[in-house]
Amino acid sequence: MKISLLVVVTLVVCSTATAQIDSTLFKRTQQDTSKLLLNMDAVYNRPFLSVSKLPVAVGGYVEANWQHLGTDGVSEGHQFQMRRLTLFVASSISRRIKFLSELEFEDGTKEINIEFASVDFEFHPLLNFRGGIVMNPIGAFNQNHDGPKWEFIDRPLSATQLLPATWSNVGFGLYGKLYKNNWVYAYETYLTNGFDDQIISNSENKTFLPSSKLNQDRFEESFNGVPLLTAKVAIRNKKIGELGLSYMGGVYNKFQEDGLVLDEKRKHRTWAIDFNTVLLTGTYLTTECTYTRVDVPSTYSQQYGDKQWGGFFDVVQPVFRKSILGFERSVVNAICRFEYVDWNVGKFLETGDNIREDIVSVVPGISWRPTSQTVIRLNYRYNWQTDLLGNPPSKTAGFQFGFSSYF
């Protein structure tokens, strides 16, 4: 409540102040956010609004949707959602010292998160330092997650059901780039606070990494004193596309307290590969695949998987580019997403049968971009979800409509 009141007061003050400022002083830094250099550039590759020569710039995006979904013939009817309101503040402290923050309001004010708030010290193109609340660079989507950059209403299942989407932590790290002819080589590596035992102690009753997002104390202290290591390397060619390889791993349980050993160290490790390219036909292809290993205690039942994997594959085909309703450079796309998540890779010890706890999803649709910063989307979602015992899958299907736009 206090945070909401503070935001309202701030907006009122700002609106009063801007009425006394010459509007010609405002400058918008336009960027075509549909064409990224690298996924790791996404945090800064956004449109910002600055005032005259002030070193501070602001921006953000908004996302609202409607959906009508049903599972096995049972529907909750029409649902309207204010998915996200995200605010950016950036500052050039000096020519080689920069600050950026990202504050996100999800589902109204149900969740309020500082997703990014760091200071960058630029020493050399190949060696730069970043500290604060950072986005752990696992896969491609975790850093490159802004709604206006995607043609689909829902975030990928593998990014929300295997990985904790927009997973960020307090820590320090290094990053750098090397440009050579038509190639770009880049890396990032960070030590941050990490996961906790909610990975295996949660309301989902399965191994579920996203549960650790519920631990807000991770921005204040480490759960067990062992840092989480996240590292990524990426390479991009103007004609071939971008390939990224990343790793995230650490200890998730509290194995000691006040010098007393409570348990052995239990680790989790996640590997990810991502790729995106544009074909000669203008077709955009984006894919990401992750694989996770978790040291699950032997006292836990087999419903807690020690191996998980999943991924998604997006196809976006521009159908035509022309003026529509006065928007001169608008683009209409035909789109489709294929995705899969398996929370428990393995076989039952007693029978040797496969453990089945997975979901398959297909999402066709169309999108219209009146400008590169705004997208209007119509999706049809169809899910098949199978339970642990491999019973006939439950089927979820329905339409989704919405928009997402930078401002």
- Note whether residue 3 is domain-resident: no
- Note whether residue 205 is domain-resident: yes
> Could you tell me which of 363, 359, 364, 355 has the C-alpha nearest to residue 395?
359
Judge whether 170 and 192 are in contact, CB under 8 Å: yes
CATH number of the CATH domain containing 225:
2.40.160.10
With left for phi above 0 and alpha for psi between -120 and 50, is residue 218 left, alpha or beta? alpha
Q: Residue for token digits 């402290």?
A: 93
- Note whether residue 366 is domain-resident: yes
pTM: 0.89
Give 29's pLDDT tier (boundaries 50, 70, 90).
low
Burial of 54 from C-beta contacts in 10 A (0-12 / 13-18 / 19+): exposed
> Could you tell me which of 332, 396, 389, 385 has the C-alpha nearest to residue 356?
389
Percent with pLDDT over 90 in the chain: 85
Domain range for residue 303? 24-29+37-406
- Note whether residue 45 is domain-resident: yes
- Note whether residue 10 is domain-resident: no
- Note whether residue 18 is domain-resident: no
DSSP state of 347: B
Give 52's pLDDT tier (boundaries 50, 70, 90).
confident
Average pLDDT, the chain: 91
| Distance in angstroms (rounded) separating the CA atoms of residues 378 and 285 | 19
Instruction: Kindly give the pairing relationship between strand 111-124 and strand 331-342.
Output: unpaired
Amino acid, single-letter form, for residue 354? N
Judge whether 377 and 153 are in contact, CB under 8 Å: yes
Write the pLDDT tens digit of every residue in 234-287.
999 989 999 999 999 999 999 999 889 999 999 999 999 999 999 999 999 999
| Distance in angstroms (rounded) separating the CA atoms of residues 146 and 328 | 24
Spell out where 141-208 has E strands. 168-180, 183-192
Write the pLDDT tens digit of every residue in 97-134.
999 999 999 998 888 999 999 999 999 999 999 999 99
- Note whether residue 255 is domain-resident: yes
- Note whether residue 12 is domain-resident: no
Domains identified in the chain, total number: 1
